[in-house]
Amino acid sequence: MAAARTGAQARLTAAWHRASGSFWAVPAVMCLLALVLSQVLIAVDHSLGPSWTQGLGPLGSRSGPSGSRDLLGAIAGSMLGVASTTFSITIAVMTLTSSSYGPHLVRSFMADRATHVVLGTFVSTSLYALLVLRSVTSETDGTVAFVPHLAVLFAVLAAVLCVALLVFFIHHVSESVQVVTLSRRVCDQLRDAVARLYPEGAGDPAPRRAELPAGVVRDEDGGRVAAADGVPAAVVRAGGCGYVAEVALEAVESLAQQHDVLVRVVSRPGRYAVDRTALLDVLPAERAGEELLRELRACVDLANSRTAVQDVEFVVQQLVELMSRALSSGVNDPYTAITALDDLSGGLVLLVGRRVPTAERAGQDGVVRLVADPVSPVELVDQVFDALRAYATTTPLVLLHAVAVAERLDDAAVDPAVRERLREQVGWLVAASEAAGPPEPDLHRLRGRSAALLGRLDAI
């Protein structure tokens, strides 16, 4: 039951992560709060009576039913119009972002919480005014005249707040559309992903390797695990199409401990799965019943698009895409590429300065229950420098800056494999630039800068 609850919580968490990156979640919650608040304030007005506003001075100025209706109607209509204009501005900015900087950066813009709150405030204020308007009655309606002065006062204050938020939103959008802001926002996401997926101390070497479940052995090299009797592992398949957005590792580990098995993550977050794609392997296979396979399948969330929750590659690729588009012949903007490189180094320096967490995770009984290979820093370094080799060989300014980024990574790297790959990538970058035939002064500067770095790396 505990594992089932954990799996359900993981699915709810994944659903919330997807919803939080959309435009409807926060406005929907704020509209619900507006509905509740309107009814509460109307009830308070009923209990206080019509004379309570006399001691409030200018804030307590009262209007009759007709004036209150006109005021609430004006607030409701104007706020809905402003919300429509705001949505139009947002869609226009998203279109510009997608065409100029890459479609993947649209998700970063959509996840901007300030935009959600502004849109939600406009819509919820309009809804609040409409709900309060229903409660205003006059003697001509055949009932006792009633004006909820407290609720009307709150509507006026909310309208004033909306005017201030409109000014803020225009300023915020003008900043958000700048490439520096977009790049830094993704850099922050990268650093958050590194801090979450590569915690400090997680990769420290253990004094001894944890034991395996009965019936599971390591191969001759002591690396991969397999069934002792040679029977292939039971496979948890996708049963649908989509990107692996999140794997509830705690739930998988708990299920594996309950059934005395070992589960290996085959398709890590970010991979695209189809119906027959293997998501998880279970060893030994004879202990993997249909119920266990169904429960394990529920621990893997498939989505229509990649997310940054457990997919650090996706965040890196957003900045790589920004850099590549800036270096394309149609844009030819080396300074935007340099900005993307700087923000990439801001996240990768944090990553290469930490040890990669071990793939094997032991349960509370000290037995390995889960094997999940993390993304290595070498893979991410390759993605960045492979793109540079493809797009930047004729741009000396970016190439020189790429060598500077390699120096930053070398200074922070704790894994010799990362430093070795940096040496290889810088060498390949120089060779590609030589083949492209740049002017000799540019090539001389690149050779001199890279020679110093390669010499320092070779000396380690």
* For range 218-238, the mean pLDDT: 77
Q: Identify the top-confidence range among 11-25, 225-239, 380-394.
A: 380-394
> What band does 9 get if pLDDT is binned at 50, 70 and 90?
low
- pLDDT for the residue 405: 92
CB-based contact 402:385 (threshold 8 Å): yes
CB-based contact 293:299 (threshold 8 Å): no
User: In terms of Cα–Cα distance, which of 199, 234, 206 is closest to 374?
Assistant: 199
> Going by DSSP bridges, is the β-strand pair 262-265/216-218 parallel, antiparallel, or unpaired?
unpaired
CB-based contact 169:86 (threshold 8 Å): yes
> What band does 2 get if pLDDT is binned at 50, 70 and 90?
very low
User: In terms of Cα–Cα distance, which of 64, 159, 85 is closest to 121?
Assistant: 159
The strand pairing partners of 263, in sequence order, are 282, 370
> What band does 50 get if pLDDT is binned at 50, 70 and 90?
low
CB-based contact 85:169 (threshold 8 Å): no
CATH of domain 312-353+376-458: 1.25.40
- Decide if pLDDT at 398 tops 50: yes
- pLDDT for the residue 122: 93
- Decide if pLDDT at 1 tops 50: no
Two structure tokens written together for 129: 């005014």
User: In terms of Cα–Cα distance, which of 13, 170, 154 is closest to 90?
Assistant: 170
Cα distance between residue 255 and residue 296, in whole Å: 8
Which stretch of 141-150, 332-341, 405-414 has the lowest confidence by average pLDDT?
A: 141-150
- Decide if pLDDT at 200 tops 60: yes
Two structure tokens written together for 453: 């770095």
Q: State what percent of residues in the chain have pLDDT above 90.
A: 27
CB-based contact 198:351 (threshold 8 Å): yes
Two structure tokens written together for 63: 């209007």
- pLDDT for the residue 3: 46
337: Cβ–Cβ under 8 A, 6 or more apart, which residues? 322, 323, 326, 327, 392, 395, 398
- pLDDT for the residue 61: 53
> What band does 227 get if pLDDT is binned at 50, 70 and 90?
confident
Two structure tokens written together for 241: 């199409």
* Residue spans per domain, the chain: 18-177, 312-353+376-458
Q: What number of helices (H) and strands (E) belong to the chain?
A: 15, 10
Please state the three-class secondary structure of 11-51 as a single string. HHHHHHHHHHCCCCHHHHHHHHHHHHHHHHHHHHHHHHCCC
142: Cβ–Cβ under 8 A, 6 or more apart, which residues? none
pTM above 0.85, yes or no: no
- pLDDT for the residue 215: 77
Cα distance between residue 230 and residue 86, in whole Å: 62
Other C-beta atoms within 10 Å of 44: how many? Answer: 13
- Decide if pLDDT at 221 tops 60: no
- Decide if pLDDT at 309 tops 90: no
Higher pLDDT, 235 or 208: 235
- pLDDT for the residue 11: 57
- Decide if pLDDT at 123 tops 90: yes
CB-based contact 195:353 (threshold 8 Å): no
* For range 98-119, the mean pLDDT: 76
> What band does 392 get if pLDDT is binned at 50, 70 and 90?
confident
Cis peptide before 284 (omega within 30 of 0): yes
* pLDDT tens digits along 143-185: 677 888 888 889 999 999 999 999 998 888 888 778 888 888 8
Which stretch of 16-30, 208-222, 319-333, 397-411 has the lowest confidence by average pLDDT?
A: 208-222
Helix (H) or strand (E) holding 330: none
> What band does 58 get if pLDDT is binned at 50, 70 and 90?
low
Which stretch of 20-24, 75-79, 402-406 has the lowest confidence by average pLDDT?
A: 20-24
- pLDDT for the residue 231: 81
- pLDDT for the residue 287: 86
Using DSSP's 3-state secondary structure scheme, residue 244 falls into strand
Higher pLDDT, 348 or 333: 348
* pLDDT tens digits along 417-430: 998 999 889 888 88
> Going by DSSP bridges, is the β-strand pair 368-371/262-265 parallel, antiparallel, or unpaired?
parallel
- Decide if pLDDT at 385 tops 90: yes
* For range 46-74, the mean pLDDT: 71
User: In terms of Cα–Cα distance, which of 188, 209, 203, 19 is closest to 116?
Assistant: 19
> What band does 137 get if pLDDT is binned at 50, 70 and 90?
confident
